Structure 1
Amino acid sequence: MRIGIPTEIKDNEYRVGIVPSGVEELVRQGHNVLIQAGAGEGSSISDEEFREAGATIHPDAPTLWENSELIMKVKEPLQSEYDLMKKGQLLFAFLHLAPLPDLVDVLLDRQIRSVAYETIQAADGSLPLLAPMSQVAGKMAVQLGATYLQKEKGGIGRLLGGVPGTKHGRIVIIGGGNVGISAAKVAYGLGAQVVIIDTDHSRLSYIDDVFDGKVVTLMSNSRNIREAAASCDMLVGAVLLP
C-alpha cells in the first residue's frame, strides 16, 4: 500500500504522522511510505532521516495526496485540503468530527474511509491512541499553569513548590484518568499540594496507592468541587466524559 504522510498545516501543530522507526516497520512489511518534504521539521525530524528509513520524499501536498492510497495525519484535514482527497481514499487521523459538519459532508461525498484515532478502543474499553496525547496534555497543563502563576505573566506570584517558611501552591485536578494522573505526577514532583476529584471510588483508591497517600482524593460532587475550586491556585480540568 502507498501510505502518505503530509505536513500538518493547522496553527501551532508541530507533530508529524509517523516517525522514522514507524517508516522502517511499514517498509519492512512491504508498504511504500511517502513523506511530504518538510513534514517532520516541527518535530526535529529531517527529510534525510525519513529517506534513510526507506521513505520517498514528495515535494508538495497535492503530489503526495494524489499518489497515496492511505493518508496518515495527526489532525483532521483543513478546508484547504478538502479538494486534495480522492474518492475512496483511506484516512487515519485524530478527527474529532462533532463540531465539523462540513468535513463530515466532504468525507461522505468523497467516500473517504476514515479511522478516527480517538475512537479506537482496546478490549477493556481503554483508548490506547488517545492515552499518550492525554498524558502530554496533563503534564503540559501544570507546566503552563506554573508559568502563568508568575507575577510577570499576570498571575498571583505563587511558586508551586514554595520555599521553607512559605505556603506551597495548591492544585485541584478534576478527573483522575490519564490527563489527571499525569498532571498530578508533575504537580507532586514540583512540591505542590495536590487534590484529585473523581466520580470513581476505585480510581481514587488506585491514585491513593500510587501516591502513597500523599495527595488528597475526593469524591466528585457539587460541594467538593465548589470548595476545592475556591481554595486552589490552579484548577485543571481533566474529564473525558462529563
Structure 2
Amino acid sequence: MKYALVTGGSRGIGRAIALQLAKELQYNILLNFNKNHKAAEETKLLIEANGVNCHILQFDVGKAEATTAAFENWKKANPEAIIEVIVNNAGITRDGLFMWMKPEDWNTVIDTSLNGFYNVTQPLLKDMLRKRYGRIINIVSLSGLKGNAGQVNYSAAKGGLIAATKALAQEIGKRKVTVNAVAPGFINSEMTEDFDQNEFKKLIPLKRFGEAEEVANLVSFLASKKASYITGEVININGGLYS
C-alpha cells in the first residue's frame, strides 16, 4: 500500500494537504501530529471519507530518537507499506526581536523546521532510492526567502530548509526522487489569525490572504507524476507579494 506522510498534519495547511493527497491522488495517509490528539482524530475521519486509510503517528519531529522509533514501530506493523511522498510541514513560530531572543525560542524553532526535516526525511530516504521513486515536498515560507523582522529564528530555519531542498535535489535526482519547496505567504490559518488583515492586504497584489486549500492544490501537483521534471525548485504561493 502506498502512503503519503504529512508532518504537522492535524490542522491548518497540513490538514488541507493530507486531505487533498487522499482525495486527488488516492494516497493512504500517514498523519503526524505532536499535541492536539482531538484534531488529529477529526482529520483522520475526514481523510478516510475519501476511501483511503489513515494512520496517526504522534511524535515531535524535532526529537530524533522519538521520530525514528515511531517510524520503526509503524514499519514493523505495516511491512507492506511504501511511503512514496513526504511532506515536511511541521513548523512553529516563537517570534520576537533577535536582541531579546531566548535560547529556547531559537532552538525550538530550528529543531522543528530544520532538524525536523533531517529527522523525518533521512531515515525514510533509503527506501525511496531503492524503489527509484519518491516525492519530498518541504513547506517553507516567505520569511525564508526575504527575511522577516521579528522572525530571525523562523527565517533562519526556513532559509536553511530552502538550501537543503536545492542540495538534496541534486544528490538524488538520478534516482527519480524529486525534492521541492513550497513557500506560502499569508494564508488563513491559526498562525495568521491575530494578523491585521486589512493592513497586510495592502501589500498583496491579489488583495487577500490565501487559503490552505490553495497551498494543498500546489502540493498535490508536486506530489503527482505530472511534476516528474520539477526538482530543486522553491515555488511561491503568496498572491504576488514576493514575486
TM-score normalised over the length of structure 1: 0.40
Higher relative helix content: 2
Look at both structures and tell me which one has the larger radius of gyration over its CA atoms. Answer: 1
The structure, 1 or 2, with the larger RCO (C-alpha pairs under 8 Å, 6+ apart) is 2
TM-score normalised over the length of structure 2: 0.40
